[in-house]
Structure 1
Amino acid sequence: MKFAIVLTFVFTSTWNPITTRGSSMIDKPVPLVNSTGLLGRSVQFYCGAVSQSDAPNLLLFYKEPDKKPIYSIDLRGPKPTQHFNKPEYASRIQFVRPGTIIVNGLSIADTGIYRCRVEYPRSPTKHLRHKLKVIESPSVPMIYDSEMSIVNGETAPYDEGSGLTLICEVSGGGASIHVQWWKDNVTLLDDTLERSDNNYKLNELHIDSLSRYDDGMYLSCIAEATPGLPATSNAVRIRMNLRPVSVEVLPGYMPVNAGEPWNVTCVVIGSFPSPIVTWWLGNIQVQTNSYRASSDRNVTISTLHLNTNKGHSGKKLTCRAENPAIKGAVIEDAITIEVAYPPSPSVMIGSALDIDFIIEGDDIFLECVVDANPPVEKLSWFRNGFQIQQDVKSGIIISNQSLVLRKVKSSLSGNFGCSAANRVGEGTSPPLLLRIKYTPVCKNQSVTKVYAQEMETVTFKCDVYSDPPKVAFRWTMATGRETALIPRIPTSNAQAKDSDVSSLLEFTPKRDSDFGRFLCWASNSVGNMKTPCVFELLKEGLRPIALSKCALEEKGPQILMVSCEDSSLSKEPVTFTMELFDTENGLMLANNTNSKPIFEVEGLDRQAKVLAVITANTKYGKSESVSIERIVERAVGSRTVEKIIDAQAQGSNRVTIIAIAIGILCLIIISLAAAFLGCNRIRSNRNRRTQRTLVDLKEHGLMLYPDMAPSREFIPTSKDSLSGNELRGDKS
């Protein structure tokens, strides 16, 4: 079969001058093109494109240093005329339009430099040079093992984990030949030559450790003379002895009842050649009854038939697999023979916890330890006989045989237990008592109000819940502008008596500054209580304080509703008064009294700007008044517009309003002057009284907190609440 392979490579062009002897042409640089040809094959020489407007007359083909062309073709006539200076060229050289010369049957002697010359009728003569290198195709590689034995087809078995050495030898191909090792024709492993001369090339492949995944892979040695030219190759398949990958004992069903026959299967995977399988009961080898291997020799199965008895319970049954071709390739699997019996559960507390000192806020871990065979099918937790359900939001988490109680509270104390069941029966654990200790807590969570007169002795009883029940108490009181610790030693007006979970404080107020709030603090071995018990000592006969959160709104057409929040702490009956004025003319529109600070006014038949004045009244006097202004619209379904009345309001009664305003302003100025003089006297008296109070407190043995800033005179709120600062004794 005859064929031509045209090879054109990346060319390195150089410029060399050429002189046409016997002509007037001057020396011109001519490009040099590198070409490579394979021994016995063909090569093409491109001699330049033919101009369409100026057809060539003559093409001359030279091999340097010859002065005469080895081939020429005259294109001037109707039929091209060829000439060969040697007869053998006639069968080897051919011209292909438009301007290519093909040389066939290359030999080593054809190596050299060739030049094309093209003559045109009108265009300048063109020259192009080619440097041809003819190389020999490499031989088919020979593959040897480390013992220099020829390997054909596949190797002798290598042990898994052992090393591998293969040698590839190639002859011919010239000095630039490449000899490479490839894995499965995809991965290049080695392209380094260990020996290279004109006749032979050697490449040794070394693999330090073969894995089981290398079994069956193909290693190819490829010899390539020049990129793009046909390469030669040879390949071998790797065979290996493989260790067993896994061995597993499949007991069928367990546990087994004593006296019943039992079939146990052992499955060995991954061993080649097939392994030797043995059975061991404890340290004694037992005989197997059946043995078989899979068709691909990858899986081996052995079955043991055993008549069980109670003595087998707890003993270890082992299946051992050994590859005889690899030293030390032994693996085994074992199970413990089980005999069925019902569960016997018990509750264990986490090792990091002291069951005698569990406090609120701790995380408790309980484990239901079950001795059962077969394993339990159902497990439940109980507290005081009632089943516990999982509630993650409440911190109750049940996971397998564990019960987790997050951030426990004292209310969770009780007897805990678990029950477990399997196919044989059911068992219940003995109860485990958990006592969750906590800091003292007030039995009465609200503020206790006590009313008294000066020099009247009152008793405050502070009762707390506590575990452990041994409690220490301390009392503090807010008197006037100071917070003081009441000492344990009786004083002229205070004496405290304690029991395990309660404390009595007898106190006699002697002056106004002795009235206020009393805080009872308790502590036990867990810590201090978070919120104290609060007592409010109030003086009888004080006038009520001003109302708060008052609102005036339109309930319906021509109906107004006035409501306030009662902030009074008096135990005396309280009445509330509301006066409604028209701010345009100063007329009173309504004057209502009620037992609650809620009033309704009807019959407003025109648009009015109104002012509501509300007070609280007892037999000791009335509170400061609270005023609210609004505009009331007459239209049905209209809304009430709340705003402050404009001081420059327009209207027909402007003069009257200005006169009333001037009179009110004068009265306010006179009242402020009198109040200012009175306040100075009161402040002077209060300062003197405060100084006397501080002196008396020290005389009575009270210890003042120097880091607490003086607070304003205490005004109780409507909800009798205690601020966080007061609970902690912080600055007011």
Structure 2
Amino acid sequence: MCGCAVTLIFAIIILNGNYLGADDSIEFQNKLPAKLIWAVEGDHVELPCDVTPPRPTDSVSMVLWFKDDSGIPLYSLDARGGVLNNSVHAALVNDLGKKSFFLVGDGHQRARLKIANVTFNDQGVFRCRVDFANSPTRNYRVNLTLVEQPTNPVIYDAQGKEVTGIGGPFLEGYDLFLSCQVAGGRPKPSVTWWRDGQLLDGVVDSPIVNGASGKFTVNQLFVGSVTRALWGAKLECRAQAGPLGKPVVREVPLDIYLKPAVVKIVLDTEVIYAGRPVGARCETWGSSPAARIVWMLDGNLIRDPSIVSTQRSNSTVSKLALVVGREDDAKELTCRAENPRFPGGVLEHQKVLRVSYAPVVLAHMAKGYDPETLREGDDLKLVCEVDSNPRPDTITWYHDEALIEHNVTGGTLVASETLTLRSLTLAHSGEYICVASNAVGEGRSHPVLIHMKYAPRCREGYEVREVGALRQESLSLRCEVEAVPGDTVRFSWTFNGTLGDVLPLPGTKARNKGLTSTFEYTVKAESDFGTLACWASNSVGRQRRPCLFNVVPAKKPEPPLDCSLRNESSALEVNCVPGSDGGLRQHFVLEVRGASGSSTGLHTPQNDQGVVGEAPPICEARNQRPFFQLHCLEAGFEYTMSVFAVNEKGRSDPVLLENVRIAGPPPDRTEKSKIYNNDEPLEVITSKSAAYSVVLVVALIGGAALVLVGIGIMIGLVICRRRNSPPPSPGPDDFTTPTYVPAQRIEPRVKYSSDRRRSYRTSLFLEESRHEPDLLQQVELDLHS
């Protein structure tokens, strides 16, 4: 019944065009203003229509809704029954009509047509016609427009290249440019840039294409200087078509290259010693990607395989075992952190090295001194240059390894770094070194050799020499001097005779060679004895004191000195010190005789005065030096030895070695033995028959003495003279020939006595004589079977 009524109403409206009235023409309807209603596809939309009567007494009789130019209403409300809320609702049977419904609401101004799940086919211009009972019809136009979403944003970089993933890379401190572009969209979309929910750029830059706005909507993001805050950030480009449009978002992560923010050098110790390794560590962070660390010393790259670097996301640590020397003191150690992907992304840290090292010392002559021109009497100044850290605590000077002390009186002035020598002498020659020390160690300089030029002077031991000469003897006088320089030395000779005149000697008799001059001199007369002087000169000057040769008449030599005994395994050694040779060549003689009064059983010849006569020696040795090795002594006997010097003038007084006893039994027989010395062996006859022959000769000499009365008287006078004078030292006349006692030789053994002090020398005992202090030590060898 209701459906028939709706159909009847639409039929009446269609058939009766006049019912619409003149104001329902198409032209009139199009001139009415239309209210724009935006909707999103799928949303529920309400189209308003004011049904308030112009007069309070009036009422609504009919409400009709038309779409676009259609003359058939899509929805109607019949209120001719009198009450609007009880009106009859009618809608065309189609998609739009099925989902439309007119809502009156509480008030007439809130009346609206609600359309559910609108689609793009539902959009258009809707007209609401309201018929009143007594007032003219009223029309309202509503433009239903659905929002069109723009396309997904497309992002481009400054070079116009599309950014499909991560944006960048961008460099810290440089510009950042990104362009976000969308197409379509209704209403015109807004394109904005966001970061972490905060708007960065909301200005839309619409490109102009061919003089008209294009279909694209663009927002260009520009950052004048990229900061570290953008590192790791994500930017969003949002495009939204009107308030009802849903934002279309494109997220762009940023790739930011950062310069190193911090770089720092850390040393394991503050005190650095030369030659000792020190650990150095360089730390840097803030670089993206992680920085590369480079070590430099004084601007030079350090290439060391021991460098170890560890990298993390934005930090790097590098370790270096640094070994420096004294030449590296005050140099800068640089750690440079470089971002390999950031041109110019470099940060450096410098540390000045303070290297401690032992002194390095250089000694040299002060300026103005020339080592080639130094002479005796000059002054000299030496300088010690010290390079050390810390500064030296002490500086000392040494001369030939002897410490030099400050001595103003002696002309030695030691300052902190200088050494001054006043009035040089030859004693100042030698090597000088400077030694400096500090807390690290000690340094020694290379030696400075000081040698000075000086006039000739006699070589030590050649200053004054006494030369004995015979008449008509030619002497070869050798003069030796010392001088610098020595290649230009010239010699001259003078003679000072007994008359006191100093006369030059002819140079033809001198042979000069280097620092030596040999002068041939012959003593012809008594006046030729005197003093010869040897003078030398060089480029420095003339010799101040000549070398003197006192030519005196030759005389007998002096006795040897300090004779001592020493027993070897095969011989008895006698060793003396030569005395004065009397001016002539001398040699030495040792004679061995039997000891006087010894219990050997041998008889010693005597004269009628009871004086022992001189017996021939048992054995005799000669040598150029007073050194003898005796093989002729037999065990069991005591011997007396005499040593004397002999030259052409005669022989010296003897030096006696008395009571020399060889311990042990005598051998059976020895035909012959030899005495060995440094020059040549001398044979000594020591057989038993030789001993008896000696006794016979002594007896014959004694008999001859008794016969010759005159000779006896002379001997008596001599004896009387000797008794009135002090007793002389024992001479060769005290010797007697020992009796041969055969015995077997055995090794002697040490024998100690409480009443005498003895010293042992390889089986020999030397004893001081308490009663005869002038005699040499007594030697006793004890025989033990």
State the TM-score bracket (shorter-chain normalisation): 0.3 to 0.5
TM-score by length of 1: 0.38
Q: Which has the larger radius of gyration?
A: 2
TM-score by length of 2: 0.36
